[in-house]
Structure 1
Amino acid sequence: MQDIISSRRITIKDSQSKYCVAGFADAYQAYVNAEEGGAVYAYWLLVGVGFLVTAVGVITMIFGPETITYNRMTGPTLFQYIQIYPGPIATIGGVCMAVGSKLGSKMIMTCESYLQANYQLIAEDGKDVTNVVKVTHLGEDKFEIELNQ
């Protein structure tokens, strides 16, 4: 294994399949730390709360009473409001889940995807082969890169 890298360019040789990309682990860790910045937690919070609220609305629609009585002077309680408006409550839960899923769709790239997105892979003849290689991360800065020809 040898370093064949100059300023984010990797020269792919036919005779070699294992490469050491100097500084990759640090660059990837910096990327992960920057991308994680709370979006992952917001994803789980919104999806979890949205699921619970949707479940409460749907269960109330299915098993809720046909009539609701409450004191006109004090108004309905929270539980009675849930019984009165199960459809909008289920819709709000669905919207929370959709927003959470949108946050979750911007998940962190794998090591292989990050390498292909941020490094230029060049064949020995000078042709860009970034999109026609099979990349396997072996750990730390080590990769197995095979040309698909």
Structure 2
Amino acid sequence: MDQASKAIRLRDLPAEIRLATARPTTTWISLISCAGVALMVLGVVSLILGPDRNYYTEAHGFDFVQFFQVFPGRLLCIGIVLTGVGSALDSQVMSRYRAALQDELDAAIDIAEDALPEGCMLTVAQKTEHVYLISLIRQQAPAAAERDMEPVPAGEQ
């Protein structure tokens, strides 16, 4: 049942809805984070296992391995920065995706909070990438939940 053209009302529940908002690809962000983690690991390993002194000639300079042995702290700092940047970018992209998805869901569902029957709540469950199932479920009574959580005195156990 595709409800893309009209908003879902209480009488239509349970209903399936197809949304157009697609999950963004964050492959390049993951690559930035992975490069940062790799540099952090390399910096820590070279910091712990690296030699106390490095010898090199001015004519040839550092070789590839000596470069990592000489600058472990800088590698670690660059790795931390890249991992933080990747995490921040991923968080920003995902929050924009969640906001767009919530806006699209709000536009597709035309049910006021006070129109719901007492003791019921509206649930949205994802079936596939773009299809969501919207239904009503009964809430557990708060008194019953509190009764289950009350501690039993030591003498009654």
Answer yes or no: is 1:18 the counterpart of 2:14. Answer: yes
TM-score normalised by structure 1 residue count: 0.65
Q: Name structure 1 gaps, 5 residues minimum.
A: none
Task: Give a deviation string over 1:8-44, Cα, whole Å, max 9, x none.
Answer: x32124xx631143xx2xx43xx217x33xxx11122
The structure-2 alpha-carbon separation of the partners of 1:126 and 1:4, relative to structure 1 and needing over 3 Å to count, comes to farther
Answer yes or no: is 1:137 the counterpart of 2:139. Answer: no
- Equivalent in the alignment of 1:59: 45
The 2-side partners of 1:3 and 1:75 are apart by 68
The 2-side partners of 1:81 and 1:2 are apart by 60
Query: 1:119 Cα deviation (Å)?
Result: 2.8
Answer yes or no: is 1:146 the counterpart of 2:153. Answer: no
Task: Give a deviation string over 1:85-104, Cα, whole Å, max 9, x none.
Answer: 10011111111111222232
The structure-2 alpha-carbon separation of the partners of 1:58 and 1:136, relative to structure 1 and needing over 3 Å to count, comes to same
3-state SS of the aligned residue for 2:82?
helix
The 2-side partners of 1:70 and 1:4 are apart by 69
CA-based RMSD: 3.4
The structure-2 alpha-carbon separation of the partners of 1:59 and 1:118, relative to structure 1 and needing over 3 Å to count, comes to farther
The structure-2 alpha-carbon separation of the partners of 1:120 and 1:72, relative to structure 1 and needing over 3 Å to count, comes to same
Q: Which runs of 4+ in 1 moved over 6 A?
A: 124-127
Q: Percent identity?
A: 23
3-state SS of the aligned residue for 1:134?
strand
Q: Name structure 2 gaps, 5 residues minimum.
A: 140-157
Contact 2:124 2:132 in 1 (8 A): no
TM-score normalised by structure 2 residue count: 0.63
Which protein shows a greater Rg? 2
The structure-2 alpha-carbon separation of the partners of 1:2 and 1:53, relative to structure 1 and needing over 3 Å to count, comes to closer
Aligned residues: 129
